[in-house]
Amino acid sequence: MIQNYRKWDALNELHIAIRANKPGLVLYTLQRHRSLNINSNLMRTSALSLAVRNQSEPIVRILLDYNCELNKLSSDESGRLETPLYTAVRLHNYAIVELLLMYGADPNVTVSDNRTPLYIATKERCLNICNLLIAFGANLDIPDCTGQTPLHFACRNIAGREQIAMLLIAHGANVHASDFKRRLPLDFAEINASIPTIERLIEEGSPISKHMKERIRNMLHDKSDQRGRTDKINGQNCALATVIDKTHLVDVEIFRQGSPLQPVQYCVSGEKQISHEK
């Protein structure tokens, strides 16, 4: 009991130094308590997660040099479990993200809702961090608890994320992936009328039905009729129309984890209907 109290007391000293953002005091505490297990579960939040949350790069570096566990899950401010890397991404701290990755943090560890650092980087519109995570081996196609990949999210919430969608596609994100409601990234791109994203998804082989082709052509026609149109938009429209014309109609049948789903049919309203016919 006394030994546990001493361990907790030493850890508490370390956490106080981290919260105070005193790198020198953190180093002094670690040197003073050389047998201290800084990865202990006695504290609700790990020392490394606390330093990342405080966005103190010097302290993060000190803790990493003392072999802090890189992928340890700790409670965030709301009580949800996340890794230090996930926290750094959520806080848009590129320098700490890079530091953690260089020390060997796993970019594919999932947290609550089965979300990865790449998913949260997409959500937070952090293009530079997305690039960094991909460079360090982030898996592009890990779905969250709804079956949606980072590409789904980027296409579903396209504002400020069009470049991220393009980046994911360029690095090989699966354009055929369907979520648990059997929706493709292309479905969301169409709803948001993102012409460059639609064009790129189709070029990369995304399934497209006859009805979707018709809807996209109508969308292009409507955009061309709008006042104040620019040459750039007209050029995009023509390019997309050309891509659509060259695309062969396919049965939109998606294979997920080796099991074929039923063909996806589209209605004019834009809502997808799933055929239950075999």
Which sign, positive or negative, has the C-alpha torsion 125, 164, 240, 256?
negative
Q: Which fold has domain 1-139?
A: 1.25.40
Q: What is the pLDDT of residue 10?
A: 87
Given a contact cutoff of 8 angstroms between Cβ atoms, the answer to whether 75 and 81 are in contact is: yes
Residue closest to 88 by CA, chosen among 136, 124, 39: 124
Q: Which amino acid is at 25?
A: L
Domain ranges within the chain, ordered by starting residue = 1-139, 174-278
pLDDT of residue 257: 42
Please tell me the predicted confidence (pLDDT) of residue 267.
32
Task: Say what the pLDDT of residue 137 is.
Answer: 98
Q: CB–CB of 8/16 below 8 Å?
A: no
The answer to whether 75 and 104 have CB atoms below 8 angstroms apart is no
Quick check: 208 and 266 in contact, CB under 8 A? Answer: no
Angle in degrees, CA 23, 26, 31, rounded to 5: 125
**Residue whose entry in the numeric block shows the structure tokens 């018709």:** 214
Q: Return the amino acid letter for 101.
A: L
> pTM for the whole thing?
0.81
Please report the pLDDT score of residue 276 as a whole number.
Answer: 32
**Sequence-ordered list of residues with C-beta below 8 angstroms from that of 78, at least 6 positions apart, any chain:** none
Tokens of 247: 């695309």
Q: Cβ(60)–Cβ(51) under 8 Å?
A: yes
Please tell me the distance from the alpha carbon of residue 130 to that of residue 174, in angstroms, as a whole number. 16
Q: Average pLDDT for consecutive 10-residue bins of the chain (278 residues)?
A: 60 94 96 88 89 97 96 88 97 98 98 96 98 98 97 96 97 96 94 91 89 82 57 52 53 42 36 35
Confidence at residue 17, expressed as pLDDT on a 0 to 100 scale: 96
Q: Return the pLDDT at 70.
A: 96
